[in-house]
Chains A and B, each alone.
Chain A
Amino acid sequence: MPATVVRRPTGIALTSRPVLPRHARLRFDAVRQRWVILVPERVLLPDETAIEILRLADGEITVETIIDRLTFKYQGDRAVIATDVIALLQDLADQGFLLDLGGEGE
């Protein structure tokens, strides 16, 4: 059987340009008054940091830029913020809920 596109694991790096795919929708649930991520068969409830990261992740800006912006906003320890951001994005990527538009920045 001819294969279509066999997937490869997404490794999140500083140059990654992450974005949620069609099947992982971040939206504000007006009835419950909270943000949710809708994925097949489940609903994920992101905390405030996750919401902030994912609202920045538009497929155009890099992970490095996301880290810069959060570091500036919170005047926090850049290394700690970088670890948190990459861990969150890698976790989503491992579950198939994150695309990396990489160098092309489509």
Chain B
Amino acid sequence: MASAPENEKNASAPEKKTLTLKSMINNEEFVVDEHVALQSVTIKNMVDSDCAGDVIPVPTISGEILALVIEYCKNHANPSASEDDLKKADAGIVAKDIYTLIDLVLAANFLDIKGLLEVTSQKIADSIKDLPHQDVREIFGVENDYTPEEEAAVRAEHDWAFEGFP
């Protein structure tokens, strides 16, 4: 069902418009209803200003991540979904490893989907809050620019926070 352009306008009821999102990383394509895709402010702006063709290329987001984003948008575009259902569905979407979550948060930011950005950030915060700072450095690819003496001094400033940590 990947790249079939949909031009069926034979039915009497107004046909639901669809958009095709294409990941530029692995060229995977996703056909989604327009109202689902429009939850992304970035895509909405493209459509509103008429710069969206049949296929909307999405740079820097892999197909795997794009699938999660679309799942989120589908859930939240469903008017009959209760708040509880949505919460459960969101929890399912963000039940991923930390590296996937970082990709997801970048995607949510790029596509400007506020709700997804919030749940993903919260999940990342929950998963790193009990980690030692050395692990956090590694996860986010942050270079340690302290000298050992400086680091010891900073640590001493908030010594109480390090109880039980290396």
Q: Do A and B come from one complex?
A: no
